[in-house]
Structure 1
Amino acid sequence: MALCAAGCDNVGQDGSDQSAVTPGVTSDKIRVGSSLALTGHASFLGQQTLSGATAYLDYINEQGGVHGRKIELVVYDDRYEPPLCLANTQKLIVKENIFSLFCYVGTPTTVKIIPLVKKARIPLLGMFTGAKALREPFNPYLINVRASYHEEVDAAVSRLVEDLGCKRIAVFYQYDAYGLDGLRGAEISLLKYGLDPVAKGSYIRGTLDIEQALARIMAAKPEAVVMVGTYMPCAKFIRMAKNIQPDLIFYNVSFVGAEELVRILGDKGERIIVSQVVPPPELPQTQDLFPLAREFLEQYAQDHPDQPISSVSLEGYLNARVLVEALRRAGPDPTREGFIRAVQSIHEMPIGKDAVIRFGPHDHQGLDQVYFTEIREGKLRLLTDWKDLARRLGRAPAQTAQAAHPAKPGLAGKGMVP
């Protein structure tokens, strides 16, 4: 098993290995560390990210590891609380003596540790967050695999305006670094069409207190709501908003956890769009669009036969594949700086149709793709036909809606599902 729970008591038992120049690297193992939400109101996201990552790491370890070393993942639960994430990260670096940080979950938690990452000069690879603060300004120790929230929201706003003819768009967001990042992305994207949010409403992270935000947004009579939150508050908002305005369209960014949102809403899940940075692995269309999903499903079923499958777990799996590829390229005597150079050497790592992971010396975001799903008849479905969606929702595509200031080519994602 690749997983080592917090507080492992085998740290430093092999004195000769642990005194090696490179932290976390011994003759037979390499230790990486993760702090993520395993309990609390974002636990689905943390558990799924971890399950996806360990499915591949366990598979690699069964094959003998990388350069004769097995990968040991040391995990701490931060409950999606920034102060706890910071404390956990300090322990991982100092007490657990890890080689690299890996698979963090959430914007407020991950942004909190940026100064520590920079000071310790330790790589952090594969974060389940699309926050701009993890991409700009460029930080050589931060390695993102997924597309950003701004790319997700930009792609969604263009669809809402151009394909569904929405002009009155509100924003519901979590009042922290995550929600404010999404809000800013929505404002920038709407401005391209000469629009502003008709209303903005927020809630406090860790609560379900959405009533004030709901009242403010519904008073503006929006046609669509951009939602930047977690699954429980978003589900509550959707339920209550549908009772007031049944024809409202809801768009959620990927961090909501689409599969969990579907489970919570049940038959209240119509007229909901969710952007994804990887397509839902269990859908038949995904097998053609994203062939890597087949390998994921096989390895995940062997490693976690009783765990649910989701886009979140597939994303964790992709993070692990990038980690392993970088360790291979780093050679038999890895260093942290050499590991970063190895990541930057990944120029062509195909994972699906028109989907290739690419990094570079000043490009630490491997993917730009944005996919779309919709909740329909209580199930998550890949959304590719926007004309059909407009017909089903009773919407008319805009006749003249075009961005006044178009995004640079590729902003909405190379290979984005049309």
Structure 2
Amino acid sequence: MRIKRFIRQLAGVFAGAALIAAAVQQPVAAQGVTDKVVKIGAYDALTGPIPLTGKQMSAGWNAAVNAANDAGGVNGRKIELLIEDDGYEPSRAMAAVRKLVERDQVLVMTGLGTPTTVVAAKYLEQAKVPLLFPMGASSTQLNHAGLKQLFMAHPAYLTQAEIIVGWMIDHVGVKKPCLVYQVDPSGEDHFAGAKKAVAARKMELSAAETFERGTTDFSAQVLKMKNAGCDFVYTATTLEASARLVTAADRIGFKPKYAGFTTQADATLIKLLGPLAEGFYAADMMARPESDAPAVKAYLANMKKYAPDVDPTFFTAYAYSAMQLVIEAIREAGPQPTREKVISALEKWNPKQSEMMGPIVFSANDHDGKRSLYMIQVKDGKWVQVSDWIVAK
């Protein structure tokens, strides 16, 4: 009897595994689309070390979805956005993505975070589920990895670091450049880009300090950079970590120039740092909120309407614009959208003009859609544009 019961249990296990495999491999037309609804999934860091960023991303995504639904949806269907919290942890992101694909059966995915996107992209590549415009970047593992299901609108961190560090040397008189970067694929990307920028100018990095994801105390890193005589620090960190780093440096009288990448081009940084934010540089890729462009005015109005408790930031703007692009891709996939049709539509974007991001360019062989930035700086408590658009070589 025990043997028979064991055999029945084992058969149940194999049957369950077969059902999961079938869920991943079933015809794409059966997933994420009904006569009335199209489902979009997202993984987001609503808890963990970057909850401010996660809340802003969700607010931007939801504002774009609600605005689209109030305007009639996409090809006669309402959009249902399903968001799962992953706490900015890769293992939780994997669980969240599997749930959204295998149980909720979303048509396409988006998300937040480089370490989480790296693991999500690998799974979604095998499951043949498009991953569209996540907030994150990695030259080797995302932007330039040749993944067929992944489409990036956020510039690779190697590209960003090369542009930012090079511009600071060329235009701000930096002599002893340094950086702080996270120990993960995104951090290695920043490090490689910074090294490329200084090498092109026959210079070297005076210091390159690392930290683990979730670090809150940067005392050791700033002391080493002060002792190395750094006159500029590239903060290859999350926005929250950047604020902690600058605060720690100020406590010991270390006052270099700072520049961050796109995730720090945000009003939240000024709120967190107060007067210490003055003079901080960052790269941006979005239309500025003070612009008179109709698309910016519509974005601000929709944020006020659908997310009145969330202030507009770089992250709300990126999420809003990225979700508009997701919806446009589904619309262009036709009245009966499938995952293959979405990818086919995207690969014809050469270019697609995003009203807030500028041109996005894809092809069948290149899914890295954005390679241009401009520099901004905090002046009198506000971000001000201080360069023209800079295109990566």
Establish whether TM, by shorter chain, passes 0.5: yes
* 2:281 aligned partner: 273
1:91 equivalent in alignment to 2:99: yes
Report the number of matched residues: 367
SS of the residue corresponding to residue 116 of structure 2 reads helix
Residue correspondence of structure 1 range 125-274 to structure 2 within 5 A: 125-132=132-139, 133-245=141-253, 247-256=255-264, 258-274=266-282
1:287 equivalent in alignment to 2:295: no
* 1:365 aligned partner: 368
**1:74 Cα deviation (Å)?**
0.7
Q: Compared with structure 1, are the counterparts of its residues 121 and 165 closer, same or farther at alpha carbon in structure 2 (3 Å cutoff)?
A: same
- Contact 1:20 1:26 (C-alpha < 8 Å) held by counterparts: no
Q: Deviations over 1:150-207 (max 9, x none)?
A: 2222221222111112121011112222222211111112111112211111222112
- Contact 1:31 1:99 (C-alpha < 8 Å) held by counterparts: yes
Aligned counterparts of 1:75 and 1:354: Cα–Cα separation in 2? 23
Aligned counterparts of 1:231 and 1:351: Cα–Cα separation in 2? 25
- Contact 1:279 1:382 (C-alpha < 8 Å) held by counterparts: no
Aligned counterparts of 2:258 and 2:250: Cα–Cα separation in 1? 10
Q: Deviations over 1:131-157 (max 9, x none)?
A: 212122211100111222222222212
- Contact 1:202 1:210 (C-alpha < 8 Å) held by counterparts: no
Aligned counterparts of 1:89 and 1:337: Cα–Cα separation in 2? 19
- Contact 2:376 2:384 (C-alpha < 8 Å) held by counterparts: yes
SS of the residue corresponding to residue 80 of structure 2 reads strand
SS of the residue corresponding to residue 113 of structure 1 reads helix
Corresponding letter in the other structure for 1:65? G
SS of the residue corresponding to residue 46 of structure 1 reads helix
* 1:411 aligned partner: 392
Deviating more after overlay: 86-95 vs 42-51: 42-51
- Contact 1:228 1:256 (C-alpha < 8 Å) held by counterparts: no
* 1:335 aligned partner: 338
SS of the residue corresponding to residue 370 of structure 1 reads strand
Corresponding letter in the other structure for 1:326? A
Corresponding letter in the other structure for 2:42? S
The one of 350, 360, 384 equivalent to 1:347 is 350
Aligned counterparts of 1:258 and 1:22: Cα–Cα separation in 2? 40
1:123 equivalent in alignment to 2:130: yes
- Contact 2:325 2:354 (C-alpha < 8 Å) held by counterparts: no
Unpaired runs of at least 5, structure 2: 1-25
Q: Compared with structure 1, are the counterparts of its residues 374 and 20 closer, same or farther at alpha carbon in structure 2 (3 Å cutoff)?
A: closer
The one of 318, 321, 325 equivalent to 1:322 is 325
What is the identity percentage for the equivalent residue pairs of Structure 1 and Structure 2? 26
* 2:379 aligned partner: 376
Aligned counterparts of 1:161 and 1:20: Cα–Cα separation in 2? 50
Corresponding letter in the other structure for 1:411? A
Aligned counterparts of 2:374 and 2:55: Cα–Cα separation in 1? 22
Deviating more after overlay: 203-212 vs 30-39: 203-212
Aligned counterparts of 1:354 and 1:296: Cα–Cα separation in 2? 12
**1:255 Cα deviation (Å)?**
2.2
* 2:52 aligned partner: 44
**1:244 Cα deviation (Å)?**
4.1
Aligned counterparts of 2:392 and 2:27: Cα–Cα separation in 1? 46
Corresponding letter in the other structure for 1:365? D
State the TM-score, normalized to the length of structure 1. Answer: 0.83
SS of the residue corresponding to residue 299 of structure 2 reads helix
* 1:73 aligned partner: 81
**1:106 Cα deviation (Å)?**
0.9
Q: Compared with structure 1, are the counterparts of its residues 140 and 20 closer, same or farther at alpha carbon in structure 2 (3 Å cutoff)?
A: closer
* 2:313 aligned partner: 310
**1:115 Cα deviation (Å)?**
2.1
SS of the residue corresponding to residue 337 of structure 1 reads helix
1:111 equivalent in alignment to 2:118: yes
Deviating more after overlay: 202-211 vs 19-28: 19-28
CA RMSD in angstroms, aligned pairs only: 2.2
Q: Compared with structure 1, are the counterparts of its residues 373 and 20 closer, same or farther at alpha carbon in structure 2 (3 Å cutoff)?
A: closer
The one of 60, 68, 88 equivalent to 1:60 is 68
Q: Compared with structure 1, are the counterparts of its residues 410 and 268 closer, same or farther at alpha carbon in structure 2 (3 Å cutoff)?
A: closer
**1:110 Cα deviation (Å)?**
0.7
Corresponding letter in the other structure for 1:362? N
Aligned counterparts of 2:178 and 2:27: Cα–Cα separation in 1? 56
Residue correspondence of structure 1 range 381-392 to structure 2 within 5 A: 381-384=384-387
State the TM-score, normalized to the length of structure 2. Answer: 0.88
Unpaired runs of at least 5, structure 1: 1-17, 387-408, 413-418
**1:72 Cα deviation (Å)?**
0.5
Aligned counterparts of 1:89 and 1:127: Cα–Cα separation in 2? 13
Deviating more after overlay: 76-85 vs 225-234: 225-234
Q: Deviations over 1:264-283 (max 9, x none)?
A: 100111221011221442x2
**1:381 Cα deviation (Å)?**
2.4
Tell me which protein shows more helix as a share of its residues. Answer: 2
Aligned counterparts of 1:160 and 1:347: Cα–Cα separation in 2? 31
**1:25 Cα deviation (Å)?**
0.8
**1:217 Cα deviation (Å)?**
1.3
- Contact 1:279 1:371 (C-alpha < 8 Å) held by counterparts: no
Aligned counterparts of 2:28 and 2:113: Cα–Cα separation in 1? 32
